[in-house]
Amino acid sequence: MGLISWIVVGLIAGVLARWIMPGLWPGGFILTAILGMAGASIGGFLVGLLGGTGTTGFNAWSIVVATFGAVVLLVLYNLVARRTV
């Protein structure tokens, strides 16, 4: 996947993940894109473990997988942040 499509998929996935899990999350535009890109990596890994294909390019499946991974990251962040408060 090219760098530009990786950033765009990450941004879309980050926005969708923040929409699925509303709350006061730190960061803005850049952190949302980074959340989605990290989510694409995590989601691709998890879906790969289940026997599916991960992120394969700029398509709907990649956005779904990246959003899944970003939601997983937000859940983990919420668990860690809740314990430190």
All structural domains of the chain with their residue ranges: 3-84
Contacts of 39 (CB under 8 A, 6+ apart): 10, 13, 14, 17, 66, 67, 68, 69, 70, 71, 72, 73
Cα separation, 79 vs 77, in Å, equals 5
Say if residues 15 and 71 touch (Cβ distance below 8 Å).
Answer: no
At 12-53, the pLDDT tens digits run: 888 888 888 877 666 777 888 888 888 888 888 888 888 877
Residue whose C-alpha is closest to residue 62's, from 48, 75, 49? 48
Task: Please name the residue that has the structure tokens 């962040």.
Answer: 77
Q: Band of the pLDDT at 85, cuts 50, 70, 90?
A: low
Q: What's the pLDDT score for residue 78?
A: 82
What percentage of residues in the chain have a pLDDT greater than 90?
0
Average pLDDT, the chain: 82
What pTM was computed for the model?
A: 0.81
